[in-house]
Structure 1
Amino acid sequence: MRILVVGAGATGGYFGGRLALAGRDVTFLVRPGRAARLADRGLRIKSPDAETVLRPRTITEPDGHYDLVLVAVKSYSLETALAGLTPAVGPRTVVIPLLNGIRHIESLVRRFGADRAWGGVCMIHATLDDDGDVHQMSGLHRLAFGPLDGGDADDRLPSVTGTLTGAGFDARASTTIVQEIWDKWVLLATLGAATTLLRGSIGAINKAPGGSEFLHALAAETTAVAEAAGHPIRGKAAAMLEATIVTTEPTTSSMYRDLVQGLPVEGGAIVGDMVAEAAKHQVSVPLLAAAHTGLAVYSANL
C-alpha cells in the first residue's frame, strides 16, 4: 500500500519511521521547515536500546492519491492539515487519525465520509528533542485501528492490517475502536488535567498532602463522563487508569511537557471537550473545569 504520514513529529515520525524501516512505501507530508530538517539530519529515532537513522521521502503538498493516510498532527493543527491532505484522499483511501480526544472523528467524517474515515488509537511515550529527533522514552508503542462502525467486512481491512502489523511496533485491528478512543481520552484527560493544574508529575502529586484524594476524585469525574456518554471504562482500561493515578513515578503528560516549555497545548481537545461532554450529560466536573480554565488562561497568554 502507498502510505502518506501527515506530520513527522514524535508520533508520526515514530510510527511512520518504523513502517519505512520495515520496507513499507511511506511518504511524509510535512511543512517546508521540517522537510529541510529531515533532509539535512535524517529522521532519527532514539529508543531506549538503540538509535536509528533513515532518510525518508518527504513532500510539502500531495502528489496524488494514497491507499492509506495516517494523520499525526496536534489537534490544534488538524483543520489546516485536513485542507492540505485532501488531494491525497481518493475514493478508496483509508484515513486513520493518531490524535488525542475525539473531536477529530467528526471532522474526518464530515470531510471524507464514514467509509474512508476510520478510527485510530496510538499509545507511545515519545517527544521531539531539541534537534528535532524522535525520542522514545519507554518501550510502549501500540497502535489500534478499525472502521468506526466496528465491522470487519470492509475489503480494505486485510490490506491495512497487513501493512500496519509486523513493522516493529505492536499493531492490531479493532472492532471496538470508538470505545478504545474513549478509553484513551479518559486516561489523557485525567493525566493532563492533573499534571497541568497542579504543575507536577503524578508521583509528586501522590506524595503531596491530599494528592491521592485529588487524583481519585479527578478520575471519578472523567469516568463518570464516559459512563454518561455510553462508553464506560472497564477491564484493562480501568486497570491502566488506576495504575496511572497511584504511581509514585515521575509520570507526566505530553500537555504538561509542552506547557513547561511554553509551547501550545491540546487543552481544548483533551480537557475542554471533556468538560463540554460533561455539560451535555449534566455531569458535575469541578476539577476538570478548573483545569480547563487554567489551560485556557495559559493558551491566551502564548
Structure 2
Amino acid sequence: METISILRKRHQLRILMFGRGVIATLYGRVFQAAGHDVEFYVRPGRAAEYGDEVQLDWIDARRRPFGRRVRETFRTPLRESLDPADGFDLVVLSVGHHRLAEATAFLAPRIGDATVLVFGNVWEEPLTAVAPLPAEQVVFGFPGSGGGFGDDGVLSGAMLPSVIIGTPDVSPNRREEEVLRAFRGAGVAVRREQDIRGWLWLHFIADAGMFDQAIRSGSLAKMTGDRRAFRDAFLTTRELLPVLEARGVDLRSHRNAMLPFRLPGLIATASAWATRLIPMARRSLAAHTDPHTPEASAVLADTLRETRRLNISTPRLER
C-alpha cells in the first residue's frame, strides 16, 4: 500500500490551466478527477467575478461511443498571480491564436521549469508563435472538446475521447511523454502527430471554411443538419489547400484529415446527419450562435492575409 501511495504521488502533477474558458474548465475537471493538483489562472479581478465553482452540463465520450451526459458542480481553484517559484509541472495554454503573443509574453518569465502545452490553433510557425517561451519546454496539441457558457453561467460542452499531441522540430522528449501520461491517466486517448505543424495549419484552414460558412448560414449552430452548408465549408477549405503546400506542408501525410476536402459531398452528408442525430456532435455546434466572434474574425482575416501574400486565388473566401 505504501508503494502504491508513493507511485501515485510521483505521477501527480501541479497543473495550471491558463484561463477558465471552456477548454480549460473541461480538461481541468478531468485532470483533477485523475488526482492532479489543478489551479486556474485568471486576470486580476476575475476570481471574484467567476466564483470558486462552475456548473457543468457536458457530454463525456471518453468511455462511450456517443457519450454520457454529466451534470455536476466543479470547484475551480482560481489564482490571480503567477511566480516561477509556484512550482507548476504543466501549464495548459488554450487561447485563440490571436492572443498567443500576449499570453506567452506574460507566461515566459513566470513558468519556471514547467512544460507548456499550447493547446489550440496556431497559424505562424509554431515555435515562432510562442517565441518568448523556451522551445525545449513547449509541446503543441489540439483538444477534442468544445461548447460555451450560457446566459445562466452553465458550461454546456462535449468532450471527445482523444486529443492530438506533437512537438515540432524536436524529437519526442520527456516533456511530451509527461503530457501524454497526464492525458492517458485521465482516461483521454492521445494521438501523436509527427507533423504537428502541418496538422495545426490544416485545422486552421478548416476552421476558416467553417467560420466563413457560419457567416452565410447565420452561425455555426444554424449549420446543424445542413448538408449544403457543410459541403460549402469543405469546398472553401479545399481552395485553401494550395496555401499549405506553398508553406511546405506535405498533404499526403494527412490523408485521413483531408477526407472532407477530397470528398466534400459524401462527408458533408455524414456530418449533417451526425450533427442532427448524435448528441455530442449537436452539442459541439449548439453553443456557437454568434458568427462574428473575435476568434472567427481573426482566423478569417489572417487566412485572407496569407492568401494575398502568397498570391493564391481563393474566390470562395474572397466573396
In the superposition, the TM-score normalised over structure 1's length comes to 0.78
Matches within 5 A, 1:1-302: 1-32=13-44, 34-40=46-52, 42-48=53-59, 49-63=69-83, 64-90=86-112, 92-103=113-124, 105-106=126-127, 108-137=129-158, 139-152=159-172, 154-200=173-219, 201-202=222-223, 206-207=227-228, 214-215=232-233, 217-231=235-249, 232=251, 234-240=254-260, 242=264, 245-246=268-269, 247-248=271-272, 249=275, 257=288, 259=290, 263-268=293-298, 270-290=299-319
* Displacement of 1:14: 1.0
Deviation string for 1:59-91 (max 9, x for gaps)? Answer: 11114342211112233443443343334322x
Unaligned runs of 5+ in 1: 291-302
Q: 1:286 to 1:176 in 2, by over 3 A?
A: same
Amino acid at match of 1:140: L
**CA shift at 1:191, angstroms?**
0.9
Amino acid in the other structure paired with 2:57 = K
**2-side partners of 1:252 and 1:196: how far apart?**
19
Distance 1:84 1:130, change over 3 A: farther
Which stretch of the first structure deviates more once superposed, 162-171 or 19-28? 162-171
Please say if residues 129 and 135 of structure 1, whose CA atoms lie closer than 8 Å, have aligned partners that are also in contact.
yes
CA 1:118 to 1:212, structure 2 compared with 1: closer, same or farther past 3 Å? closer
Q: Deviations over 1:8-27 (max 9, x none)?
A: 11111111221112111211
Paired amino acid for 1:176: D
Q: 1:162 to 1:253 in 2, by over 3 A?
A: closer
SS state at 2:240 partner: helix
Q: Note closer, same or farther for the CA distance 1:32–1:169 as it changes in structure 2 (3 Å cut).
A: farther
AA aligned to 1:148 is P
Asked if the contact 1:121/1:180 (under 8 Å) is kept, the reply is no
Structure 1 position 255, deviation (Å) = 12
What is the root-mean-square deviation of aligned Cα atoms in Å? 3.1
Instruction: Find the residue that maps to 1:218 and give its secondary structure.
Output: helix
* SS, match of residue 110 in structure 1: coil
The total of aligned residue pairs comes to: 281
Distance 2:157 2:230 in 1: 28
In structure 2, what is the Cα distance between the partners aligned to 1:150 and 1:140? 27
Shift of 1:205: 5.8
Deviations for 1:113-158, whole angstroms, at most 9, x for unmatched residues?
3212322112323212223332114x52532222221522x23332
| Secondary structure, counterpart of 1:53 in structure 2 | strand
Identity over aligned residues, as a percent?
23
Distance 1:183 1:123 in 2: 15
